[in-house]
Structure 1
Amino acid sequence: MNELRLPSDGPLSWAAELPFYQAGLAGYSDYAMRMVARKHGCPYCITEAMLDHFLINGGKGLEVAELREDDHPICGQLMGSHADEIAAGAKILDGLGYDVIDVNIACPQKKIKRKSRGGHLLSVPDEAIEILKAVADAVEGSRPLTVKMRRAFDDSNEALDGFHKIFQAAIELGYSGVTVHGRTVEQKYIGPSTWESLRKIVDEYGHEHVRHAATKHQKFMIGGSGDIWQTSDIFAMIEQTGVDVVSVARGCIGNPWIFEQARAMAQRKKGGGQGVGDKQGGDAPRIYEQRDVLLEHFELSMQLYGEQQAARMMRKFGIRFSRHHPEGEQIKAAFIKVKGLDAWQGVLDEFYAVDGVGVGVDAAVPDEARTQVSEESCGS
């Protein structure tokens, strides 16, 4: 019997060699962030979740979804509460040229629950399955489909049963894979991600094949998510749980070097050399490297939003980037005050004019990684 394997061509072919990607992050993972990540070795990116009715209604919601030629392979993530509307949204993403379409039934935010979408759907598995079927029917096999889930709605046996019902339906409906976050919806981002739950999922479903693939030997891809803060976490999750790929979410905000380091580590593990750049899979980015990325990210953001909106958008990125600099607290305070390109450049001139060694990888991990308490938007 032939061994199951991850795809060797198509938009998911990266997974066999580079088992990580940038997650969809509400309020963060726009074109600018994705391009910075790609430049640093990220093989695949997911958009932040797009609401189906925003796509259907056109205008700004549809404009944001439009793609650029250099932004591939790209997965468009959809979220909605009605099967007919999310099917219409899937057709729009299909027409826009997204390589993969992902259905989000993971987001734990209160406003999502009130709208009966995202992670709420894990509490109503029949409705979730109806949505998955509607998307599959709408796309008609034109491109791979994936799902983002959490390990259950809560810790009850009933919720766990619902999770498995949805997961099994994704397999039977021909989806190419599911990424599971190791927290429940009720947990939000409080407490640790339970990697052991991912191990159990792999043990149960790790030998499934993609039902609608051209060959029965294409492996159903299982991804893991939650508490990925540095490069070593990516490979620790793979080793401890057996997942095929790892979703890097909050850990890559203000830290595109995680992908450069992960690519280098993946290639060294396969005996293929260092990979992108000079990183050894964990070296701190130097001050000049940080400066160049900060400037590039701001300029890309200006192309999208104009100077004033980009300045507002980039403050939160600057705060995240500041943790790599020895004077992080002062830089954080300075970025908070930024209102335009001149002010942004002023921070770079003041703190990034002299090259030097950045903060070590462990020290640069954000506080929420240590406290395991966060109210971040959907993503990890």
Structure 2
Amino acid sequence: MGPRAGTFRPVIPNHYMIRHLRIEPNLVLAPMEGVTDLTFRRLVRSIGAVGLTVTEFIAGEALRRGIPKAEMMARFDPDEHPVAIQIYGRNPEAMAEAARAIEDAGADIVDLNFGCPSKKVCAHSGGSSLLREPELARQIVKSVRAAVKIPLTVKMRSGYDAGLRNAPYIGRMCQEEGVEALAIHWRTRTDQYGGVRAVDKIAETKSRVKIPVVGNGDIVDIASARAMFRDTGVDGIMIGRGAIKNPWVFKQIHAQLLGLPEVVVDADEKRKVLLRYFEGIRAEFKTDRGVLGRMKKIANYFTHGLPHGSELRVAFLHAQTIDDAIGHTNRYFDWLCEEEIKRGRPFAHTAVPVHDLPVGADQSAAWAAQRDRAST
């Protein structure tokens, strides 16, 4: 007899093992180019409930040659464990040397990128392009496995395109060559960031290998986490863009898994976390232009799902200085805090219909007026 409708926790694991490493909670921060740098990973870890962090992908050749930018991307904090450093490339020897550098740096896991769909990576036959070259992928895995003693994992997509959804085959090959865990995104390379959800190849891979399988793709809240576990039987889940929009998502899912009270985040806490992130990147970037660019990128995600967040995004788009952007942030959240007081409860960090705001004058206009007053 199956679990009763609505039950979740009895059939969902709360950890998995990668050799001696216990990944608990079984919630992983996905590698994301230009996002999961040291500052962002610090932010997510400070909120809590993430069991494993992964760096943004790094070119194996650049890390092999000791390029300063690559080495900076591979940095992690002394207390950031377990942590995986992800590399990509098509040269087995270069990938092996990069893996040795990762091991020497003290990272816990080498992660191979067989999943990135970006043209930059695929143009050099890395990332998901390797799904069309399984023998080259095998040689890369064998070379890296022979080069290091620490655990080796692979992140990939379900296939290259609709006609080549070969994740189960690649997964079995990886296991045979010594890979100790897999993370699989349900999209194919040609899906890019679209496509229709199809998790069957994740489920099939899970049924055909003995190593842990982590599900990835459009996991943005408790409901989508439940669906991935339910539909695939995976050992854990990996969250990417959903964590930029809502870095509390790990904590919210974890609380639900354990049957703990709902994690509710009010406007003031959201403001504090966003400003703390801004402070972090201000300390890391060398130029104000770089800081402002990253602030705009993260704010674009973070404000989706907040009431009239589009108004803050427009204000950010036109901000000319860091102080302008911080001022817009404070004025927006001052307004949002007031609306939550009137409403009597915080807004969820999801799509919020306008009718859920207090009745009265147009709220978008009210926020815009507050912004305009500050600029005069």
Output the TM-score relative to the length of structure 1.
Answer: 0.81
Indicate whether 1:229 and 2:220 are aligned: yes
Sort the Cα spacing of 1:302 and 1:10 in 2 relative to 1 into closer, same or farther, 3 A: farther
Task: For CA contacts below 8 A with separation 6 or more, give which structure has more relative contact order.
Answer: 1
Who wins on radius of gyration, i.e. which is larger? Answer: 2
SS of alignment partner, residue 334 of structure 2: coil
Aligned partner of 2:26 in structure 1 is 19
* CA 1:131–1:364: 2 relative to 1, 3 Å: farther
Cα deviation per residue 1:317-353 (whole Å; 9 max; x = unaligned)? 1111112432211101112233443123211231112
Give the letter aligned to residue 198 of structure 1: I
Corresponding residue number in structure 1 for 2:38: 31
Deviation of the 1:298 alpha carbon: 0.5
2:93 maps to 84
SS in 1 for 2:270: helix
Report the equivalent of 1:7.
Answer: 17
Between the aligned partners of 2:200 and 2:154, the Cα distance in structure 1 is 20
Q: Is 1:320 aligned to residue 301 of structure 2?
A: yes
Distance 2:132 2:168 in 1: 12
Q: Does 1:360 align with 2:348?
A: yes
Q: Which of 57, 65, 76 is 1:49 aligned to?
A: 57
Correspondence for 1:96 among 95, 101, 105: 105
For the residue of structure 2 that corresponds to 1:349, the secondary structure is helix
2:142 to 108, 133, 137: 133
Counterpart Cα distance in 1 of 2:293 and 2:158: 34
**Residue 266 of structure 2 corresponds to which residue in structure 1?**
286
The residue aligned with 2:314 is 333
> Is the contact between residue 305 and residue 350 of structure 2 (CA under 8 Å) also seen in structure 1?
no
Deviation at 1:148, TM superposition (A): 0.5
The code of the aligned residue for 2:309 comes to G
Q: Tell me, what secondary structure is at the counterpart of 2:17?
A: coil
| CA distance in 2 between partners of 1:93 and 1:130 (Å) | 19
Residues 21-70 of structure 1, C-alpha deviation per residue, up to 9 Å, x if partnerless?
11000111111111111122222111111001111222222233222213
CA deviation vs aligned residue, 1:206-240 (integer Å, no higher than 9, x gap): xx2xxxxxxxxxxx111111121212211221122
Question: Judging changes above 3 Å, is the alpha-carbon distance between structure 1 residues 237 and 66 closer, same or farther for their aligned structure 2 residues?
Answer: same
SS at match of 2:155: strand
Distance in 1 (alpha carbons) for counterparts of 2:352 and 2:284: 29
| C-alpha distance after superposition, 1:276-304 (max 9, x if no partner) | xxxx15x4x32101110111001111121
Deviation at 1:170, TM superposition (A): 1.4
Q: What letter corresponds to residue 55 of structure 1 in structure 2? A: L
What is the aligned counterpart of 2:180 among 168, 176, 182? 176
| Secondary structure class of the residue paired with 1:353 | helix
Query: 2:307–2:352: 8 Å Cα contact kept in structure 1?
Result: no
Are 2:137 and 1:114 aligned? no
Equivalence for 1:342 = 323
Q: Does 1:239 align with 2:230?
A: yes
SS at match of 2:190: coil
Query: Matched residue of 2:191: which SS?
Result: coil
Q: Distance in 2 between matches of 1:221 and 1:345?
A: 42
Unmatched runs of 5 consecutive residues or more in structure 1:
209-219, 275-279, 366-380
1:120-139 residue CA offsets vs partner (Å, 9 max, x unmatched): 00001000000011110111
Q: Tell me, in whole angstroms, the C-alpha distance in 2 between the residues paired with 1:307 and 1:264.
A: 39
CA distance in 2, matches of 1:29, 1:194: 26
Q: 2: CA distance between counterparts of 1:57 and 1:149?
A: 25
Q: 1:312 touches 1:339 (CA, 8 Å); kept in 2?
A: no
Q: Which amino acid in 2 is paired with 1:363?
A: A
| Structure 2 counterpart SS, 1:331 | helix
Aligned to 1:370: none
Residue 153 of structure 1: aligned partner:
160
Change (3 A) 1:110 1:8: closer
Equivalent AA in structure 2 for residue 149 of structure 1: M
Q: Following superposition of structure 1 onto structure 2, how do residues 208-223 of structure 1 map, counting pairs within 5 Å? A: 208=210, 220-223=211-214
Aligned residues: 330
The structural deviation recorded for 1:10 is 4.2
Q: Does the CA contact (< 8 Å) of 2:55 and 2:73 recur in 1?
A: no
Give the Cα separation in 2 of the matches to 1:318 and 1:192.
27
Unaligned runs of 5+ in 2: 1-14, 354-376
Q: 1:197 aligns with which of 201, 215, 226?
A: 201
